[in-house]
Chain A
Amino acid sequence: MTWEVVIGIETHAQLATQSKIFSGASTAFGAEPNAQTSLIDLAMPGVLPVVNREAVGCAIRFGLAVGSKIDQHSIFARKNYFYPDLPKGYQISQFENPVVVGGQIVLQLGQGDDLVEKVVNLTRAHMEEDAGKSLHEDFQGRTGVDLNRAGTPLLEIVTEPEMRSSAEAVAYARALHSLVRWIGICDGNMQEGSFRCDANVSVRKPGQPFGTRREIKNLNSFRFMQQAIDYEVQWQINELEEGRAIQQATVLFDPDTGETRAMRSKEDAQDYRYFPDPDLLPIAISDEWIDRVRGEMPELPQAMRERFQALGLSAYDAAAVTASLEIARYYESALKVAGNAQAKVAANWIMGDFSARLNREGLDIEAAPVTPEQLGGLIARIADQTISNAIGKKVFDALWQGQGKSADEIIEAQGLKQITDTGAIEALVDEVLAANPGNVAEFKAGKEKALNALVGQIMKAAKGKANPQQVNDLLKKKLS
């Protein structure tokens, strides 16, 4: 019997607020050490925290996006432990009454027609402050402390242990990553630590109770997450098959060796002595506040996907054009100009030529030189047969180069309009037939391929502008 993998994920998403969760200091990344610290972040004697309502708004927004219950009287608690980058000697977090309870993330697994959806249930999401950073390398024989990050607002999002493979875990992390950016509560920058995951991994025989788990800390890329879980799973299976029990532990993934390594065992586990923070009242969240946040919420990816599928996109295409809010917005703006009938064509453009060009030039979608309105206009001209698909690619390139303000302008200026005048096309056909008796003879002898050569010649003579369908029809008529 094989082993079943059980994974739960805890994610720390840094909330995209201007200032810290309990002080007015800036949260911007990359400042001089300790330049962004207020008296509160330094934990001076006598200072008090005041909760940043913007951070609470982000938490509400997340809760609404994943269909959670919002606790309207959630409580901040103190998590007590000593560490030099924890200035108060406790972290303000939430313990017994988190702001977000329950909820679901829907993820897509597989590709193309094999795409399936899976629902991952969330246990909770709670607000907390980040700690500072200990700098062990920068000073010989001493440790530096940078408190710029101390007090940065985080939302810790915890799933049920419902993922059954590293692929599912990564798909969940990607879906969550996309969602928090989609709803604008986190910039998702994994290099800067704005989005980091811990994976709780265990294995068991199907039908048995959960095995003992080990927690892989601080996974800051999807690739590392996959590698770390795969390694950890194999390690646990080997241990168990060799008759050794798994000890609960916290482990770190080393990207250089591809291995996980125990950092501390359960015996070293600290007693954090959680208790409600007496400096902070329960966070009162009114119905009005929730309604206001709901009103500001962008349409969610799931709803958008369903809407696009109704226009004729496959589930896979719908997922692709809703991979991020930026792509979805681009797609929708393009579609507005091209018309809903072009939903599939527009999706192909965006996932094909447009994405390829962005990738090649290393650009974000926001920096694309072709606006969605321009692309939509181009698609419309292909649809109404003003230009052919092949010419369309030329026009796209011209738009990218900034050669004109719209597809129409470029088509006009460069004379790319498709030739649909039957007389003009007929003249071209006659000309080519007269000049290529060999091909004509071959076709008549049953070589279908010869037709393609003739079409090629005609299109060449027309500089690509002749309507291909008309060319085909006329040619067949004349050869029959």
Chain B
Amino acid sequence: MINASLKELASALDSKKISSLELTDLFLGRIAQHNPLINAFVTVDEEKSRAAAKAADAIRAAGNAGPLTGVPIAHKDIFCQDGWRTTCGSRMLENFIAPYNATVVERCNQAGLVPLGKVNMDEFAMGSSNETSYYGPVRNPWDTDRVPGGSSGGSAAAVAARLAPAATGTDTGGSIRQPAALCGLTGLKPSYGTVSRWGMIAFASSLDQAGPMARSAEDCGLLLNAFAGFDAKDSTSLERDNEDYTRSLYQPLKGLRIGLPKEFFGTDGDAATMAAIEAALAEYRKLGAETVEVSLPSISQSVSAYYVIAPAEASSNLSRFDGVRYGYRAPEYTDLNDMYAKSRAQGFGEEVKRRILIGTYVLSHGYYDAYYLQAQRIRRLIASDFDAAFKQCDVIASPTTPGTAFKFGEKSGDPVQMYLSDIYTIGVNLAGIPALSHPCGEINGLPTGMQLIGPYFSEHRLLNVTHQYQQVTDWHRRMPTAFA
């Protein structure tokens, strides 16, 4: 049961092989058993989960089940969940009980998905290794000496270790795709505006996007069906008709044009990673796809532009954490300014403070044009690079990460090194387009992922391409043996 797809779980529930309560208890039991080692869950509330499972069973018994009713899910601790502690990986929100549901959570609830708990993350989603969480790092189930990636590292580790069949994640610069790659999962960052940001604690508003993290493209499509779609509470939500993201899963790949950016397929890529990518491309060719070289001339600027825009927005978004109305307040202070300074100095971790400082700097009078406006110009160039590339191809392929999961401490001492590991994923957020990562090999026993990028609103196509690949490969079925 722990290896079953979401469709299989729904079918087992439907045929009464198992109840949602039993299924929920199964995963809660695994969390109790394994979480102390991998630290994926920050908050578990068995009573709430079991109540939701019972409610789902009742809905199914009444004949009103939807495609995912009764299936358990883990929510990244960035989503406000009514009555649940919602920490965003920060000391700042250690005791914050959310008074409302994020739209993603609300829609999952409405779909009958059973919440298993809140999963760990880099503090305020700022990090690529989960080492910045106030609640301690998450360990990669494939090798517990290594990071699971970030910031949705708890989501990835929970699903990889089979502590949850699926999870929600968020992706600002790769935070779904990178941990998916490092933990052997399939994770999708949808087009900006596809999934409501209401109730998702903001890191960088113009880049943040929630998405599914699961084991297969099919699972991701089913989850996206549950929580994507227009939401009037988010002004950047796109007013489009709801769509079935699984509608194209079975479309053959004959004639598919896969673009390979020459900037990503040069000589400086990691050899083992590139070999895995080449092997995956060979599979795709067998399925009828062809590959074409494309160019993204401005992509090398993406990390620089991102690390101006994202901190700028973050510095402002995180101003509300001031110790006045909720969240951490320093126990002692002399006056108002001292209260702000101490509460924020003690409530935020080092990486968050670093980015607030960078962001404050680039927005400052006299620097705004040189940094913020210049970064916005690069952002537009990158978006037009992708537009031009998609005139020659249907999807773009690349590695998701420069290498497999790294060891704790390996990069955390050097922020720039850490930032550079986002090179393949960041441009996608700047352009607002969808991309996913799917497993495509193993290197020294560690999973590696391939990124597929598509034009705006091509989620169904990316899922189709991946699903076809997953029909002829089994990388996505592999699991870390210690958690079998």
Chain A residues close to B by CB (< 8 Å):
39, 42-51, 78, 80, 82, 84, 87-90, 143, 145, 271, 273-275, 278-281
> Which residues on the A side are within 8 Å of B204 (C-beta)?
278
CB distance from B423 to the nearest CB of A (A): 23
* Cβ contact within 8 Å between A45 and B364: no
Q: Please report the C-alpha to C-alpha distance between residue A44 and residue B364 in the assembled complex, in whole angstroms.
A: 26
The one of B79, B205, B319, B336 in contact with A278, judged by C-beta atoms closer than 8 angstroms, is B205
* Cβ contact within 8 Å between B363 and A90: no
* Cβ contact within 8 Å between B233 and A279: no
A275-B368, A281-B236 known; A45-B324 Cβ under 8 A: no
CB distance from B418 to the nearest CB of A (A): 24
Q: Please report the C-alpha to C-alpha distance between residue A179 and residue B187 in the assembled complex, in whole angstroms.
A: 57
A145-B324, A278-B206 known; A48-B233 Cβ under 8 A: yes
* Cβ contact within 8 Å between B205 and A82: no
Q: Please report the C-alpha to C-alpha distance between residue A87 and residue B315 in the assembled complex, in whole angstroms.
A: 15
* Cβ contact within 8 Å between B233 and A80: no
Q: Which residue of chain A has its CB nearest to the CB of B365?
A: A271
Q: Please report the C-alpha to C-alpha distance between residue A327 and residue B93 in the assembled complex, in whole angstroms.
A: 56
A45-B96, A279-B235 known; A82-B322 Cβ under 8 A: yes
* Cβ contact within 8 Å between A82 and B99: no
* Cβ contact within 8 Å between B86 and A49: no
Q: Please report the C-alpha to C-alpha distance between residue A143 and residue B234 in the assembled complex, in whole angstroms.
A: 33
* Cβ contact within 8 Å between B205 and A84: no
The one of B88, B336, B364 in contact with A84, judged by C-beta atoms closer than 8 angstroms, is B336
* Cβ contact within 8 Å between B93 and A78: no
> Which residues on the A side are within 8 Å of B17 (C-beta)?
none
**Can you report 27 A-B residue pairs in the complex whose CB atoms are below 8 A from each other?**
A39-B100, A42-B325, A43-B325, A44-B80, A45-B80, A45-B86, A45-B93, A45-B320, A46-B102, A49-B235, A50-B234, A80-B315, A82-B322, A84-B336, A88-B319, A89-B319, A89-B322, A145-B324, A145-B325, A273-B360, A273-B364, A275-B372, A278-B205, A278-B313, A279-B202, A279-B205, A279-B235
CB distance from B166 to the nearest CB of A (A): 21
B198 at the interface (CB under 8 A from A): yes
> Which residues on the A side are within 8 Å of B336 (C-beta)?
84, 143
Candidate in B199, B321, B325, B340 with the most chain A CB atoms within 10 angstroms = B325
Going nearest first, the 3 A-B pairs with the smallest beta carbon separation are: A89-B319, A278-B205, A278-B206
A45-B86, A46-B200, A145-B324 known; A275-B93 Cβ under 8 A: no
- Interface flags for B346-371 (1: CB within 8 Å of A; 0: not) read 00000000000000100111001000
* Cβ contact within 8 Å between B320 and A88: yes
B312 at the interface (CB under 8 A from A): yes
Q: Please report the C-alpha to C-alpha distance between residue A39 and residue B100 in the assembled complex, in whole angstroms.
A: 9
Q: Please report the C-alpha to C-alpha distance between residue A280 and residue B233 in the assembled complex, in whole angstroms.
A: 11
* Cβ contact within 8 Å between B319 and A273: no
The one of B96, B98, B235 in contact with A281, judged by C-beta atoms closer than 8 angstroms, is B235
* Cβ contact within 8 Å between A50 and B313: no
- The A contact surface, by secondary structure, is loop
* Cβ contact within 8 Å between A51 and B235: yes
> Which residues on the A side are within 8 Å of B201 (C-beta)?
45-46
Q: How many residues of B contact A (CB 8 A)?
A: 44
Q: Please report the C-alpha to C-alpha distance between residue A22 and residue B152 in the assembled complex, in whole angstroms.
A: 30
CB distance from B368 to the nearest CB of A (A): 7
Q: Which residue of chain A has its CB nearest to the CB of B336?
A: A84
Q: Which residue of chain B has its CB nearest to the CB of A281?
A: B235
A273-B364, A278-B313 known; A50-B372 Cβ under 8 A: no
> Which residues on the B side are within 8 Å of A143 (C-beta)?
336
CB distance from A87 to the nearest CB of B (A): 6
CB distance from B389 to the nearest CB of A (A): 25
The one of A42, A82, A271 in contact with B319, judged by C-beta atoms closer than 8 angstroms, is A82
> Which residues on the A side are within 8 Å of B248 (C-beta)?
none
Q: Which residue of chain A has its CB nearest to the CB of B87?
A: A45
CB distance from A131 to the nearest CB of B (A): 13
Chain B residues close to A by CB (< 8 Å):
79-80, 86, 88, 93, 96, 98-100, 102, 197-202, 204-206, 232-236, 312-313, 315-316, 318-322, 324-326, 336, 340, 360, 363-365, 368, 372
Q: Which residue of chain B has its CB nearest to the CB of A271?
A: B365
CB distance from B294 to the nearest CB of A (A): 29
> Which residues on the A side are within 8 Å of B368 (C-beta)?
273, 275
> Which residues on the B side are within 8 Å of A278 (C-beta)?
204-206, 236, 313
* Cβ contact within 8 Å between A87 and B320: yes
* Cβ contact within 8 Å between B99 and A39: yes
> Which residues on the B side are within 8 Å of A271 (C-beta)?
364-365
> Which residues on the A side are within 8 Å of B206 (C-beta)?
278
Q: Please report the C-alpha to C-alpha distance between residue A271 and residue B365 in the assembled complex, in whole angstroms.
A: 6
Q: Which residue of chain B has its CB nearest to the CB of A147?
A: B325
Q: Please report the C-alpha to C-alpha distance between residue A475 and residue B463 in the assembled complex, in whole angstroms.
A: 108
Q: Which residue of chain B has its CB nearest to the CB of A37?
A: B325
CB distance from B89 to the nearest CB of A (A): 12
CB distance from B100 to the nearest CB of A (A): 6
Q: Which residue of chain A has its CB nearest to the CB of B202?
A: A46
Q: Which residue of chain A has its CB nearest to the CB of B341?
A: A82
A45-B93, A46-B102 known; A275-B316 Cβ under 8 A: yes
CB distance from A95 to the nearest CB of B (A): 11
CB distance from A58 to the nearest CB of B (A): 19
> Which residues on the A side are within 8 Å of B315 (C-beta)?
80, 273
CB distance from B129 to the nearest CB of A (A): 23
* Cβ contact within 8 Å between A48 and B320: no
> Which residues on the A side are within 8 Å of B199 (C-beta)?
46-47
Q: Please report the C-alpha to C-alpha distance between residue A380 and residue B234 in the assembled complex, in whole angstroms.
A: 60
Q: Please report the C-alpha to C-alpha distance between residue A78 and residue B205 in the assembled complex, in whole angstroms.
A: 13
* Cβ contact within 8 Å between A90 and B325: no
Q: Please report the C-alpha to C-alpha distance between residue A90 and residue B96 in the assembled complex, in whole angstroms.
A: 21
**Contacts A87-B320, A273-B364 known; 11 new A-B pairs at CB < 8 A:** A44-B80, A44-B99, A46-B79, A46-B197, A48-B235, A88-B320, A89-B316, A273-B360, A275-B372, A278-B206, A279-B236
> Which residues on the B side are within 8 Å of A78 (C-beta)?
316
> Which residues on the B side are within 8 Å of A88 (C-beta)?
319-320
Q: Which residue of chain B has its CB nearest to the CB of A279?
A: B205
A78-B316, A80-B316, A89-B319 known; A47-B363 Cβ under 8 A: no
> Which residues on the A side are within 8 Å of B326 (C-beta)?
44
* Cβ contact within 8 Å between A90 and B319: yes
* Cβ contact within 8 Å between B200 and A280: no
Q: Which residue of chain B has its CB nearest to the CB of A49?
A: B235
> Which residues on the B side are within 8 Å of A47 (C-beta)?
198-199
The one of B100, B312, B340 in contact with A275, judged by C-beta atoms closer than 8 angstroms, is B312
* Cβ contact within 8 Å between B198 and A48: yes
Q: Please report the C-alpha to C-alpha distance between residue A274 and residue B88 in the assembled complex, in whole angstroms.
A: 26
* Cβ contact within 8 Å between A89 and B102: no
The one of A39, A45, A90, A275 in contact with B88, judged by C-beta atoms closer than 8 angstroms, is A45
* Cβ contact within 8 Å between B324 and A84: yes
Q: Which residue of chain A has its CB nearest to the CB of B324?
A: A84
Q: Please report the C-alpha to C-alpha distance between residue A82 and residue B356 in the assembled complex, in whole angstroms.
A: 14
> Which residues on the B side are within 8 Å of A281 (C-beta)?
235-236
* Cβ contact within 8 Å between B235 and A275: no
Q: Which residue of chain A has its CB nearest to the CB of B237?
A: A48
> Which residues on the A side are within 8 Å of B86 (C-beta)?
45
